[in-house]
A and B are shown apart, each in its own frame.
Chain A
Amino acid sequence: MNKRKVTLAVATAGVLTGAAGLSLLAMPAGAGQPPSLPDIAPEALVEQVMTVKPGAFGGTVEVDNKLGLPAIAEIPQLADGKHSGRIWTDGTGKLRLALPNGQSEQTIVDDGKTTWSWNSQTNEVTKSEHKADPKPENKDQDKNSAEQKAIDPATAAKEIVTMTKEFSEISVDGTARVANRAAYELVLTPKPTEKTLIREVRIAVDSELKMPLRVAVLTNGTAEPAGTVGFTQINVGPQDPKLFEFTPPANAKVTTPEAKEAESREKLPEAGLEAALHGKDPQIFGTGWDSVIGARIPAEAMTQVPAEAQGLVDRFTKKVSGSWGSGNLFTTKVATILIADDGRVVAGAVPEQVLFDTIGQVK
């Protein structure tokens, strides 16, 4: 009788443990106690962020995106929601990115001479050899570095700091634990004279390596970050050299970026816009946080937009007009893009009024 009670208790405990385990698994991982670190001057920290050479590391990066962007076919990882990717680098420019997309995966490997981009959905490898010419004219290289910027907090943070350092109030606001490493929270607040949508950018800088581990962008009027890019797990140190090699699978199609680009330009209307914004002569107006990038889409590209793409554009944009003309306004939490009907495009992390004032200057 007594033994029966004991077994019953054990069985009940088992059920309860299982139920508790379920709720524990469902709980989001807590941030944990912020570590206590010696004080550091903000200027010194910025200096270190700018000068540090990230060594070899491998890690998992999570992008939490609440920007309200429509899904872009080419970089599905940037659509709204949480996405994670894995990144490895040997510190000398060799790189591997693994970007899962549902049950598929995109892998990008840069072995120092060639950039390989593999997409399991299309069973296709895009191979682009680095030009001997050090000028970054190779478009694909640009695109890959754009992808790296989007996924690698360290690169993204450096970029932001370089662009906005002079136009921000810089402070160190406590510490944080990111990917189980102690970090300082470096905060860049736009100076009051800056007309921008962004309230502040928080960069968690590793206390030892001085490498940015997480970047969070906060916009006016919201407490939650509009976008966060950060490591969830990182191991610093030499990585397996095999990771930086890539052999195309036996039955995969291997193409060059040129062929790929021609194909995608036909398919995707956004590619035209992207090409225009990255075009030969993007014009930059203003400085710092409220700088605006402007360009002009060739007239033929404007008329070539297929009807269904037009529908897409209409769905995500708002018709606006003013003394500068008329066009479509595309708004996200951190950026605004204005596309005038005559092909002028301006974009920036600014409220729409700044764009209306600037678009007249686009040549």
Chain B
Amino acid sequence: MITRQFGSEVRWMLRRPRTLIGLFGLVLVPIIISFGIWTAGEDGGGGGPGLGAIIQGNGMVVPIFTLFLSLNLLLPLVASIWAADGLAGEAQHGTLRGLLVAPVSRVRLLFVKLFGLTAMSLFAVTLMAVVGIIAGTAFLGMNGMMTLSGTTLSTGEGLLRIAFFIVLVTFQMVSIGAVALAVSSTTEHPLVVQAATMTTIIVFQVLGQFPSLDWLHPFLITTGFPGLVDVMRDPMPLNQIWDSTLLAGCYLLIGTGLAAMRLITKDS
């Protein structure tokens, strides 16, 4: 029963033209990055901070690099679009009413929406990573995966790291999406949801820049993003990754809880 609802939710999401256009846009990111680094050539690579310095001739870093960059704006945007469509969009079309009066628990409705969000996030992130591996290998070549620590992992280990990173990034995305779902349950205008979510993410990132606000930083979900780069260190330190994931988990709980409270008390 519930699996049928999950399936139909994902089918619905995939049938929306903007979902497909969005996925297509996401897939372009790793291709453009690989192409850009390839054209920059040997002189352009090798230098600078972070992952950009080790990407030259190291195609397997492209998926990690792409997802790491996209996590700051692009992926939260996509998550907010799906969350906005899920409840506010349905309310706008008048279809939410039907779902609310149906003899199905509203909590179940929320979980179906959350599942759709998770499935689509995982799909989008995996798609980006796979295209990233292909584009990175094609443009930049591949010889195992060189880490930030200067060691070279075998292709198998590299793929494991990428898979782990996909899970981590998806979790961050779903947590942001859960908060967006909470906003989505309060309005009939999908744009409000997207605007609110993106504004929050951007404001969080701006606040994160001020050292004088360091007491606030541990509360911001965006604080956890940079730590995820530890996936590319060898041996992989888990403290920061674990902290970021716990932080996102708190947001997931708050978002889901608020959305449930709103849906339960909502008049049909």
Q: Could you tell me which A residues sit within 8 Å of B by CB distance?
A: 4, 7-8, 10-19, 21-23, 25-26, 60, 86, 98, 100, 102-105, 107, 116, 118, 120-123, 125, 233, 240, 243, 246-253
Interface of A is mostly: mixed
A250 and B152 form a contact (CB under 8 A): yes
Q: Which residues of A contact B143 (CB under 8 A)?
A: 250
Contact of B73 with A by CB under 8 A: no
A21 and B243 form a contact (CB under 8 A): no
Q: Mark B158-200, 1 if CB is under 8 A from A, else 0.
A: 0000000000000000000000000000000000000000000
Q: Give the segment of B96-104, B115-123, B127-135, B229-237 that binds chain A.
A: B229-237
Contact of B91 with A by CB under 8 A: no
B218 and A26 form a contact (CB under 8 A): yes
Q: Mark B224-268, 1 if CB is under 8 A from A, else 0.
A: 001001000101010100010011011111111110110011000
Distance in angstroms between the alpha carbons of A107 and B237 in the assembled complex: 14
Known: A14-B253, A16-B257, A25-B250. 16 other contacts (CB 8 A): A11-B261, A12-B261, A13-B257, A14-B256, A15-B258, A15-B261, A18-B255, A18-B257, A26-B218, A102-B49, A103-B148, A103-B226, A105-B149, A121-B48, A123-B54, A251-B58
Distance in angstroms between the alpha carbons of A60 and B264 in the assembled complex: 47
> Which residue in chain B gives the minimum CB-CB distance to A28?
B218
Return A28 CB to nearest CB of chain B, in Å.
Answer: 9
> Which residue in chain A gives the minimum CB-CB distance to B224?
A25
Distance in angstroms between the alpha carbons of A10 and B263 in the assembled complex: 13
Given contacts A14-B257, A123-B54, contact A60 B237 (CB under 8 A): yes
B47 and A123 form a contact (CB under 8 A): yes
B54 and A15 form a contact (CB under 8 A): no
Q: Which residues of B contact A123 (CB under 8 A)?
A: 45-47, 53-54, 56
Q: Which listed residue (A17, A19, A86, A104) contacts B53, Cβ 8 A?
A: A104
B264 and A120 form a contact (CB under 8 A): no
- Chain B: number of interface residues, binned into ranges: 35 or more
Q: Which residues of A contact B247 (CB under 8 A)?
A: 22, 25
Q: Which residues of B contact A107 (CB under 8 A)?
A: 149-151
A25 and B47 form a contact (CB under 8 A): no
Return B43 CB to nearest CB of chain A, in Å.
Answer: 12
Distance in angstroms between the alpha carbons of A275 and B254 in the assembled complex: 56
Q: Which listed residue (A7, A86, A120) contacts B237, Cβ 8 A?
A: A86
A118 and B253 form a contact (CB under 8 A): no
A19 and B46 form a contact (CB under 8 A): no
> Which residue in chain A gives the minimum CB-CB distance to B52?
A103
A249 and B146 form a contact (CB under 8 A): yes
A to B CB contacts below 8 Å, 13 in the list: A8-B265, A11-B258, A14-B257, A18-B249, A18-B251, A18-B257, A86-B237, A103-B148, A103-B229, A105-B233, A120-B54, A233-B239, A249-B150
Return B180 CB to nearest CB of chain A, in Å.
Answer: 15
Return B39 CB to nearest CB of chain A, in Å.
Answer: 17
Contact of B219 with A by CB under 8 A: yes
Contact of B89 with A by CB under 8 A: no
Distance in angstroms between the alpha carbons of A118 and B147 in the assembled complex: 11
Return B92 CB to nearest CB of chain A, in Å.
Answer: 24
Q: Which residues of A contact B146 (CB under 8 A)?
A: 249-250
Contact of B107 with A by CB under 8 A: yes
